[in-house]
Structure 1
């Protein structure tokens, strides 16, 4: 995935507010990337631009060699459904469906797959993330952490090439957030690229490359080693030192 000189602006009254100011970024296959910055820096807008959920005013976003701006809404929707996964701070699940049905819903629109195979995969994913046995629960009958796990299963149901996470641990307590990052890290280790927006240095420290944003621009970048076997406290300190250095 490549973003080249991305510009995104909004009209606020008589003034134009620039949210992304010529941002360029490349996410390589299987990479684990985080984006940090203060509120209003443009990090979530960048995520939506890269995933095609939001139009851009300038520049170009390419995925699998295709310019997203050249695609129809149906083509964009198909790419997001089959090649991208999304995990948000608050999982977007339907109240009238149980946990299992919420997970399989995106994949069921692909008529090439049988419902039986999709359901089998969903159950395997639920077991993997620790929510086996909750298939028939309503979304009001599980905890926030369990909902977030269901959201991860839903994001993975179509074997995406990349996962987009917008503050995926933001509404969780520290223990559950750590468990969530363990799951996301495992997903990445299996070959799925991940890009996370976060304000949490502990979350960013789990990734391999951190982009720092301010005022709609990427102002700095740092790289970390693979996190396996590395002291997370030391990694977190390095991220916090970098944040202080660039004033975010």
Structure 2
């Protein structure tokens, strides 16, 4: 299976006053084409920092991250932004949608930037994706007129507009109730089943249990890894119990 992301001995620290505090310590990890990966660990363990480093959203101090065979360090900020916009998708805990645009316009905005002459096709594509995730009737709504789960679906639509190689999610269900969280995970799982790689940061064992591989972090390092079989709705409790047992075993 082809590796789409290769991280080698990456280090990242942040300044607090006059001191540097390490957040990632010599982390190496590969992400395969079409893989479904989650990252778990206590607050401050480096989960989100690792996701931002692998996606080129944050610069690393040392080490190397390659995406589709290209070293991300050779690109400037504009080039990295172009890669993220055209090759990657992002889903955050709080969708970053613009208040002055309706749902449809928020979804198509990044794609319009790259294809100004294909407005009709972009809108058609967006509406098809909205239908798929169950928000077709919300296209003219303002973002203040829909629920958190519906906003997250809109964020997924926007992430899918560029047909990304990988989707990164930072606690994508963290602000949702259990029913909405399950619905969002169903959509993400379907996207992954169609061949798009997914990497999620989560604190929720039920979310991690839906993935194929779990990276457990503590103190800026990957301290353990867990591999699961392909998810089916019938083995949710068993998978969740295995994840929570592993968390207890390694003390996170």
Give me the TM-score of the superposition, normalised by structure 1.
Answer: 0.98
**2: CA distance between counterparts of 1:24 and 1:116?**
43
1:147 matches 2:151: yes
**1: CA distance between counterparts of 2:142 and 2:124?**
19
Structure-2 change in CA distance of 1:110 and 1:212 (3 Å) = same
**2: CA distance between counterparts of 1:245 and 1:72?**
42
Runs of 4+ in 1 over 6 A off after TM superposition: none
Q: What pairs up with 1:105-184 in 2 under 5 angstroms?
A: 105-111=109-115, 114-184=118-188
**2: CA distance between counterparts of 1:46 and 1:230?**
32
Please report how far the alpha carbon of residue 158 of structure 1 lies from its aligned counterpart in structure 2 after TM superposition: 0.6
**Deviation digits for residues 106-135 of structure 1 (CA, Å, limit 9, x no counterpart):** 111113761111111100111111101110
Aligned to 1:81: 85
**Deviation digits for residues 146-193 of structure 1 (CA, Å, limit 9, x no counterpart):** 000000000001100000000000000001000000000000000000
Structure-2 change in CA distance of 1:128 and 1:246 (3 Å) = same
Please report how far the alpha carbon of residue 229 of structure 1 lies from its aligned counterpart in structure 2 after TM superposition: 4.9
1:50 matches 2:59: no
Aligned residue for 2:89, secondary structure, equals: strand
Please report how far the alpha carbon of residue 75 of structure 1 lies from its aligned counterpart in structure 2 after TM superposition: 1.3
**2: CA distance between counterparts of 1:20 and 1:89?**
22
2:200 to 154, 179, 196: 196
Aligned residue for 2:78, secondary structure, equals: helix
Structure-2 change in CA distance of 1:97 and 1:194 (3 Å) = same
Please report how far the alpha carbon of residue 73 of structure 1 lies from its aligned counterpart in structure 2 after TM superposition: 1.6
1:29 matches 2:55: no
Instruction: Tell me which moved more, 2-11 or 194-203.
Output: 2-11
Structure-2 change in CA distance of 1:113 and 1:69 (3 Å) = farther
1:70 matches 2:51: no
**Deviation digits for residues 8-67 of structure 1 (CA, Å, limit 9, x no counterpart):** 001112221000001111110000000000000000000011111100001111001111
1:233 to 223, 226, 237: 237
**2: CA distance between counterparts of 1:246 and 1:94?**
41
Q: How many residues align?
A: 248
**1: CA distance between counterparts of 2:201 and 2:233?**
24
Structure-2 change in CA distance of 1:229 and 1:117 (3 Å) = same
